[in-house]
Structure 1
Amino acid sequence: MEQQQPVGAAELFDAIGARYEDAFGRPPVVARAVGELLSLLPAAARVLDIGSGTGRPVAHALAGAGCRVTGLDVSSVMISIAREQVPDAEFVHTDVRDWTSPPECWDAVCAYFPFLQMPRADTAKVLRRLARWLVPGGYLSLVTVPMDAEDLPVEFLGHPVRLTSFPAPELEDKIVAAGLRVVSTYSEIFEPEDGRGEEHLLITAVRP
């Protein structure tokens, strides 16, 4: 039997669609991250959500709290779902590596799992760009699966993909090198639909 070739992020999430929200859409660490962010932000804060997916729970919670939210996602299917589910936010079908923003215009950037299919060099570049986009005193709220892996073949919801990540200390170093200061870290084990536990790491950083 011919082995399936790994798919990229756009193809993967176009295929998964709303099923992602059912299987992975509400990990407790993301709820913790959003709650923490809302406690830090001013009223009507401008928030950029990288890899916004279906819009729930992140953009939905932020917009419901009065934030002005813009979500970016490489999947046209996810963008369509998000626009329907969270009409109070704006969603853009794009890759963050191709998208541009004026400097110092976002009070916060959320990045919940968007780097897991991105080469390490690209992740470092994007972190530097995000740091420039934040206002002084603005926050980066990042959640990932920390591990020492690059281009690792795995199966995700029935689709072959290649996974890339950093060990926690190395990722913190990349965030600091981008010009941010790490405020806090938190990790916990999440049990997804397939029952294989994985570590979820939350890093909160600020632009000095």
Structure 2
Amino acid sequence: MPVGERRDTDVGHEDQRPPAAVLFDALGPDYEKAFAHAPAHLAALEWLLERLPPAARTLDVGSGTGRPTAAALVGAGHSVLGVDVSPVMTELAARQVPGAEFRRADIRELPLDAESFDGVCVFFSLLQMTRAEQSALIGRLSRALKPGGHLVLATVPADVENVEVSFMGHRALATSFPEDDLTALLRTTGLTVLAHRSTTFTPAHPGAGPEPHVFLYCRRDVHPHSDAHV
């Protein structure tokens, strides 16, 4: 979701739904066509699958159409709870990946039991949250992981707050962190960043340009840092 020029199509500022719901309701299956085959995304999924125990319980934050993330996890024999604020995406996902559970909900408000998941996926689902909301959510996701569990997070790294961007023909507001700041934030929540991958990806969509992406591969510490908070 790089910074771009304004477009004539908009997601409707007067709509009472959360901005992410408005945007992704409008995108629907086009989002999957544009992003589902991103090599770095598939590599991050493979990394997680190699580390999950058998029949793991996993959480997919911003589950979209269910593919590729939930589909890959279910295909490997794991249970999946997919959470997305978009009803269009949730309905698509339920049809495409019937072996997973999908819930239309705002992850910022959804209760998460402590130490209840073996793995958590957060692929590009933070960008329409404020920095305070992103920080709070990452802390909650860390606590929802079992000690030794793994989390993979992907975003567009940038030092931006509430910046208007052009994304697949729609205007949206985006907020993010520089990669170093995001890595430091993850560490304060009891996560160890085991590896990272920075890449550039051009979505398969007319007029789309290259986007910088970062993928962070994390493990919840068995003994969380004493400064862990959020």
User: What percent identity do the matched residue pairs reach?
Assistant: 45
Whole-angstrom CA distance in 1 between matches of 2:82 and 2:189? 22
Displacement over 4 Å in runs of 4+: 2-7
Candidates 12, 24, 35, aligned match of 2:23: 12
TM-score, normalisation: structure 2: 0.87
Instruction: Quote how far apart the aligned CAs of 1:91 are.
Output: 0.3
Whole-angstrom CA distance in 2 between matches of 1:133 and 1:3? 38
Aligned residue in 1 for 2:196: 185
Aligned residue in 1 for 2:68: 57
- Letter aligned with residue 206 of structure 1: R
Whole-angstrom CA distance in 2 between matches of 1:177 and 1:95? 24
Aligned residue in 1 for 2:147: 136
Candidates 156, 166, 174, aligned match of 2:185: 174
Greater shift after overlay, 180-189 or 121-130? 180-189
Instruction: Quote how far apart the aligned CAs of 1:3 are.
Output: 9.2
Candidates 84, 92, 100, aligned match of 1:89: 100
Whole-angstrom CA distance in 1 between matches of 2:151 and 2:202? 25
Aligned residue for 2:50, secondary structure, equals helix
Structure 1 residues 54 and 43, CA gap change in structure 2 (3 angstroms): same
Aligned residue for 1:36, secondary structure, equals helix
Aligned residue in 2 for 1:32: 43
Instruction: Quote how far apart the aligned CAs of 1:102 are.
Output: 1.2
TM-score, normalisation: structure 1: 0.96
Aligned residue in 1 for 2:83: 72
- Letter aligned with residue 51 of structure 1: G
Whole-angstrom CA distance in 2 between matches of 1:29 and 1:109? 17
Q: Which residues of 2 match residues 89-108 of structure 1 at below 5 A?
A: 89-108=100-119
Whole-angstrom CA distance in 2 between matches of 1:155 and 1:169? 25
CA contact (8 A) 2:9 2:171 kept: no
Instruction: Quote how far apart the aligned CAs of 1:24 are.
Output: 2.1
CA contact (8 A) 2:119 2:150 kept: yes
- Letter aligned with residue 196 of structure 1: G
For these two proteins, the number of residue pairs brought into alignment is 207
Does 2:164 match 1:153?
yes
1:34-91 deviation per Cα after TM superposition (whole angstroms, max 9, x unaligned): 0000011111111100000000011001100001111000000000000000000000
Aligned residue in 2 for 1:119: 130
CA contact (8 A) 2:160 2:174 kept: yes
Q: Could you tell me which runs of 5 or more consecutive residues in structure 1 were left unpaired when the two chains were aligned.
A: none
Whole-angstrom CA distance in 1 between matches of 2:112 and 2:199? 33
Aligned residue for 2:113, secondary structure, equals coil
Whole-angstrom CA distance in 2 between matches of 1:3 and 1:186? 33
Whole-angstrom CA distance in 2 between matches of 1:172 and 1:36? 18
Structure 1 residues 76 and 195, CA gap change in structure 2 (3 angstroms): closer
Aligned residue in 2 for 1:162: 173
CA contact (8 A) 1:124 1:178 kept: no
RMSD: 1.5
Instruction: Quote how far apart the aligned CAs of 1:27 are.
Output: 1.4
Whole-angstrom CA distance in 2 between matches of 1:190 and 1:132? 31
Whole-angstrom CA distance in 2 between matches of 1:159 and 1:195? 11
